[in-house]
Amino acid sequence: MEPNIVDYSEEKEKARKNALKPDEVRPLISEVEEEEEDFRNWIVSEDEKDNSISTFKTYWNNIRKHPHFDILTEPDYDIDGLISTYTESGSERTHLRQYIKFQFQRRREFIEEEADLDELEQYFDKQLTTRTRAISLFKKKKNEILELIESEGSNDQDEGPDVEYHYIYKEDLVELLRKAPPIRAKFWATLYLLGARWGEVKRLKPEHRLPDYNDEHGAYQIEKNRTKSKKAHKKALYTGLVPRILEDVPIGNWVDPETDEEWESVYFPDRNNSDENYQLGKEVNGKVYGLAGEIGMEPRTLHSFRHTRITDLLKAEGRPLSEVQDRSGHEDSKTTNDYKEVNLKKQPTSLEQYCDDNDIDLLEVITTESEQAQR
């Protein structure tokens, strides 16, 4: 094994001054042979192939434009430089973290099966008696690199979730749900109530319901191949609204019953990048389009429902940090704590409490008149 360690400090400084493009520093990740195929095979689950391919494409679009690096052979400061220099958004950081985890798994297999102890001793600069010790050191290295991406010492650090930007106050949320087509409103309401990522909700199946879990409302099991962290977790239900919403929606098969459109068209109406499709709002030349613009709200994204729910559980309902972390599927409690520490413009309240205080029937808000008559 030939360590490919180079001093990146000069290139990093030039890049920060916009004197170098990513592909002038290193080959881009997408240009490295088999990298796309190997990463796709790591992401894609045979059980949920179509959905996993969609997830892979989202990750790859952000990952492929960054300079290539190797978690095993490059020094930590180089990887920090490569990531912090060319990463512009929190989502890019998130996707690169997945890429690092993919590299870790692949290089761990190399340590376990191919490298001899002499090579590993040279790389780690330590005397090793077993491969297990090498794996332990390598895991520590991976964790340190992941921390570097979000470290306070990085000039272009990932500051964690931008909770204040994503937070939706409940008067706005109710109006969004009221104005949205019912099938979309049901999806959005479920995203909020579960505090889930959209990929987790659209992949739910009836058998994932755990009616006897925890308390009277039960929970939904989010399986590991459906999560960003690849770890299973349970989303305890604090209200009976979710099962009632899903009574009329075949979960795991979200489609518009009137047009038979698939979920991508129904829940991601901005995919065609046209002004009229920015349902949650997008600002173009100073004008906010979509439902957000109609109600005078700043633009938001699908992920805003998750951010808002996690914030409400911590700040409006005062639920324990560990409980919310477990329910949210966060690997690190620091991520969950970011939601607790955010300063909002006014006191947050949960959607359920807002509806109770204002005598609003949420199910009426998100259903059609014909559906209401059937109830």
CA gap 2, 230 in Å, rounded: 31
Evaluate whether 47 touches 225 at the Cβ level (below 8 Å): yes
Walk across the sheet containing 233-236 and list its strands: 209-210, 219-222, 233-236
Please identify, among 117, 149, 181, the residue that sits at the C-terminal boundary of a domain: 149
pLDDT single digits (tens) 50-102: 557 878 888 888 888 888 888 777 766 667 666 666 665 566 667 787 888 88
Q: Is the pLDDT of residue 247 over 70?
A: yes
Whether 85 and 209 share a structural domain: no
- Mind giving me the DSSP string for 125-141? TS--SSHHHHHHHHHHH
Do residues 110 and 193 both lie within one domain? Answer: no
340 and 194 share one domain: yes
- At which of 85, 120, 149 does a domain end? 149
Average pLDDT, the chain: 77
Q: What is the pTM of this model?
A: 0.58
Domain that holds residue 329: 163-374
pLDDT score for 352: 94
**pLDDT digit string (tens) for 313-341?**
999 999 999 999 989 888 888 888 889 88
Q: Which of 81-85, 177-181, 270-274, 367-371 has the lowest mean pLDDT?
A: 270-274
* DSSP secondary structure code for residue 312 in this structure: I
What pLDDT digit, counting tens, does each position of 3-59 carry?
Answer: 444 555 666 666 556 666 767 777 888 898 889 999 998 888 665 565 578 788 888
Domain count for the chain: 2
Say if residue 201 is in the same domain as residue 120: no
Same domain, 269 and 199: yes
HSE, side-chain direction, 13 A CA sphere, residue 346: 6
Specify if 154 maps to a domain: no
Residue, of 156 and 222, whose pLDDT is higher: 222
Is the same domain home to 124 and 216? no
Is 290 inside any structural domain? yes
Calpha distance 9→215 (Å, rounded): 55
pLDDT: which is higher, 125 or 103: 103
Q: What is the CATH number of the domain that holds 227?
A: 1.10.443.10
pLDDT at 203 over 50: yes
